[in-house]
Chain A
């Protein structure tokens, strides 16, 4: 049994220390996904707490043979994010990129920086703003692959779509993101 499965088994046995360890190990990953998707620290914190509440209630439904705990957790987080997205009124920020161009050009003129001079933090903020311009389908594919580093197979499992569709969404997401970054003049 791998360490991850052992940890889950200990949690299922009701060991308090195991739950603490689970929270310490996975909070960073869940928060990162939530923050990248929503673009808001407060919302990401609330959603991360909600994810762990759902893990606490539904860990029994996790079957070790059907995939890793990390993939199961990513799927749970993704489902919560999509629910949250549908509930909230984020649709307005996913208007077509063309509608956003004048605004992006305006902000790009002041924030014009060459790619090489940006710090990791600045790059992260720019990526964050750029991701908010993508549709949820493309955004989640880019987040899971390029920011969370999941395998194509795992992403297909999390999103419930074939691997070919994952690759296609990823190509479109990256292309749109590149266009947004170019408009902000952070990409040559």
Chain B
């Protein structure tokens, strides 16, 4: 841990852009984590209305309260709103990047490693596997819709166990085997994702779903963004698996699971870091766009985008437009800078190796 910190410190001293980005992200993270403690100090946070203190410019004080960044037209303390916005952006970004990273990385690794021909099954096996996938999804949906009962939990595990058992048995039959087209199916899905207008889809899903919370926004965002991770993890895995050390590990009998998660994943990670930084930026932009447009985000939740949208109602109050936008911009800048740095680092390493 200390080692990593001192390494980051050294890099920050050498590369000014990197240092600034780390500094911005550190402040953002700390603000987000300690927002519930900070808000009471600032007079109860952004939800406190004081109509008589409407549209105060920054650095003004009324009575015993001081408004560092001024107030909006309802007299709410902008500084408190900014702190709460930092927390909302942080929760949405971390949650959606984490979900899409875990999902995308595991799927990308598997399809990159096996491809279309890695898993070979004969026709009978394939038919049974597809059928059992459909049936188990049916029972899974039943579990979600009707709640858990013996009538759906038992068949669910029964079907899976039966298929696994039968699969071993049938694989011994002398029938010609074909590859399972995992990669082909996933590629079609990625193409679909590429064609879809992300903001449009997210807006319409967010408007359709009944329960609106910041976590539902995070889940909707990760539905689209796991594919970015999966695509890059796939490409990276396909490259890494051709390396000599992987081939020799494979020939010495290392299990596929160990190979994937102990040998391929660590070597694919540097380029995944670039995507993580980029996705963080994209997700924050998306979240602030959603709250700017006022769709999907819950009404009572204050975020940077929402404050910025409020600025359009009162053009006189420049502080309402400048500060929240500045916060979004700084965080975006930090992540883009980090992505740039990771990209350069990786290119440098590649050059040394070659």
Do the two chains belong together in a single complex?
no
| A residues in contact (CB < 8 Å) with B | none
Give chain B's interface residues, CB within 8 Å of chain A: none
